[in-house]
Amino acid sequence: MSLSSRLTLPAVIGGIFLVFASGIFAPPAQARGYTVETSAQVTGVASWDHLNVRRWPAHYSAQVGQLRPWTSVWVERCIEVDNSSDWCLVQRGPTRGWVNSRYLSPR
């Protein structure tokens, strides 16, 4: 058996694994979305707590900032999440990232 024949099967398996893994670890930002472009206020957060702002629209994503209760934010757009609340891209000063829509109220 030639060297190329022995390496073909592991290469194919590795390629299939990479395709599968890239789908799992891709950021969910490419989900169905809609434009909002309005201001909102952080609500539903205890007065002593804060709302985490995330890099991607997922609870396990890296935290890029925090917002205090009743803070006004600009909501650029939101994405639909099946069986859960939507996630919205917000900005307040230099802080820009994703928050769960259940913690936002339109102004």
Taking only the tens of pLDDT, the chain with its 107 residues reads 555 555 555 555 555 555 444 444 545 445 588 999 999 999 999 999 999 999 999 999 999 999 999 999 999 999 998 888 899 999 999 999 999 999 999 98
Strand partners, 65: 53
Q: What is the pTM of this model?
A: 0.70
Identify residue 4 by its one-letter amino acid code.
S
d(CA 60, CA 32): 19
Locate the domains of the chain by residue range: 30-106
Q: Round to whole Å and give the CA distance between 19 and 79.
A: 24
- Contact yes or no for 103/43 (Cβ under 8 A): yes
Q: Hey, what's the torsion of the CAs at 40, 44, 45, 51, to 10 degrees?
A: -50
Q: Which of 20, 36, 32, 40 is nearest to 57 (CA)?
A: 32
Amino acid found at 94:
P
* 30-106 classified as CATH 2.60.40.10: no
